[in-house]
Amino acid sequence: MKIGLVGLPLAGKTTLYNLLTGNNLETSQFYSGKMDANLGMAQVPDVRADHLLQIYKSKRVVNAQLEITDLPGLKSDRLGSGNLFLQNVRKVDALVHVIRAFDDANVEHLDGDLDPLRDFNNLNAELYLADLDFLEKRIERIQNGKKITPEHRLEQNALEKYLQALEEEQPLHSVELSEEEADAIKHYSFFSQVPQLVVINTDEESFKNRSYKNQEELDKAIKEQGYGRLLLSAKIEGEIAELPPEDRELFMEDLGLKETGAYRLAREMYALLGQISFFTVGENEVRVWTIDQDLPARKAAGKIHSDMERGFIRAEVVAYDDLKEHGSFNKCKEKGLVRLEGKEYPVKDGDVITIRFNV
Ligand SMILES: Nc1nc2c(ncn2[C@@H]2O[C@H](COP(=O)(O)OP(=O)(O)OP(=O)(O)O)[C@@H](O)[C@H]2O)c(=O)[nH]1
Ligand SMILES: [Mg+2]
């Protein structure tokens, strides 16, 4: 899964990037104007995998990973000229949109003052503008074409509805299309429809209160767009990650946190993209696999190895929750909790799976 970190300058993107990837890139209190992106891998933490390691006495855990691109901040006075920005957005499966909601007089604010709602709208305006531009050009091309086929007509209808929605600042997913219209434009992708997890980057105090500036309007706007939302403080999470493990819990408790920011971010991202995890276990390793929700067992087997998909016989499945409750595979077997499933079985989040296959 490829994730792009986006936001206005000095929102805390690189701070979050460091937290997720374990890197230690320089961050600055002043706008640097740097235009290069940072690319790194983030481990997706999963406490279930660590627990399976103990149950199966395996040697190591192989986590799922996210490929993270930390994009340069988009200046709000440069909207409409962000070609490089848009090229980068096109390359990712989802965006983490970092919004500055922390109050800190030492960190420059290019647009003057703290205004999370304005910042959210400013960055999204870039995506809207790019979609508008595409729609206008495409409609014009159809209109000026020599021959307008019925398919063109359908496409034009759909695109015009989209255009109208954007002009009224309505999200594209709210547009009602007929089945034929939807079909006529299904090969297009739109910037404003790239799934977004909006990270509200707060300071310690507003995190503790779980409240921030423009909260009501901002939450409403995020919801209307169909985006996800996560509250965290990138800076504090970074500081917590540097503590010795035994001290972390105390700090987290103080903030009312059970899980780290990296964990919560991964979980929200999976929910947003409809992804789940299943596990394979062995003497050597516990491995976490990421798949689309409800993927049939045979297709899931193909993620592990194409031979397993080709020669699939059955999947032996036990739920993580059952293993956790009963403590061992054998106990689960005694209780009849280990199932044999066929190729169409929709794999569930937390399934521990052994594929039986023959090639
Ligand atoms: N107080 C506070 N400061 C933060 C927080 N997150 C980031 N900062 C600070 O804000 C400044 C900018 O952070 P960066 O992570 O470099 O911001 P950025 O979005 O990558 O900035 P550009 O790359 O210039 O777009 C740094 O001085 C950070 O320490 C936070 O949660 N609270
Ligand atoms: Mg940065």
CATH number at residue 102: 3.40.50.300
pLDDT confidence of residue 210: 94
Measured from the CB, is residue 29 less than 6 Å from ligand 1? yes
pLDDT confidence of residue 321: 98
Ranges in the chain, pLDDT < 50: none
In a domain, 38, yes or no: yes
Question: Of 218, 238, 272, at which residue does a domain stop?
Answer: 272
In a domain, 284, yes or no: no
Based on the fold, state whether residues 14 and 74 are members of the same structural domain.
Answer: yes
In a domain, 80, yes or no: yes
Measured from the CB, is residue 241 less than 6 Å from ligand 1? no
Count of domains for the chain: 3
Query: Which residue minimizes the CA distance to atom 4 of ligand 1?
Result: 235
Based on the fold, state whether residues 204 and 187 are members of the same structural domain.
Answer: no
pLDDT confidence of residue 82: 64
Based on the fold, state whether residues 150 and 259 are members of the same structural domain.
Answer: no
Which residues are registered as beta bridge partners of 346?
Answer: 296
d(CA 69, CA 3): 6
Ligand 2 geometric centre to CA of 80 (Å): 20
Ligand 2 geometric centre to CA of 315 (Å): 45
Measured from the CB, is residue 235 less than 6 Å from ligand 1? yes
Based on the fold, state whether residues 7 and 95 are members of the same structural domain.
Answer: yes
Based on the fold, state whether residues 82 and 200 are members of the same structural domain.
Answer: yes
Q: Are 261 and 234 in contact (CB under 8 A)?
A: yes
In a domain, 32, yes or no: yes
How far CA 212 is from CA of 1, 14, 202, 238, 346, in Å, comes to 30, 21, 7, 20, 40
Question: Of 162, 192, 222, at which residue does a domain stop?
Answer: 192
Query: Which residue minimizes the CA distance to atom 8 of ligand 1?
Result: 12
pLDDT confidence of residue 81: 65
Kindly state the tokens that stand for 273. Answer: 């993209």
Based on the fold, state whether residues 205 and 73 are members of the same structural domain.
Answer: yes
Measured from the CB, is residue 9 less than 6 Å from ligand 1? yes
Based on the fold, state whether residues 140 and 21 are members of the same structural domain.
Answer: no
User: Measured from the CA of 33, which atom of ligand 1 is nearest?
Assistant: 24
Based on the fold, state whether residues 23 and 105 are members of the same structural domain.
Answer: yes
Measured from the CB, is residue 206 less than 6 Å from ligand 1? no
Based on the fold, state whether residues 181 and 214 are members of the same structural domain.
Answer: no
Could you tell me the residue range of the domain that residue 105 belongs to? 2-43+64-112+195-272
Ligand 2 geometric centre to CA of 340 (Å): 49
How far CA 158 is from CA of 30, 46, 153, 178, 184, in Å, comes to 44, 42, 9, 8, 8
Ligand 1 geometric centre to CA of 13 (Å): 7
Question: What is the model's pTM?
Answer: 0.93
pLDDT confidence of residue 78: 78
Based on the fold, state whether residues 250 and 303 are members of the same structural domain.
Answer: no
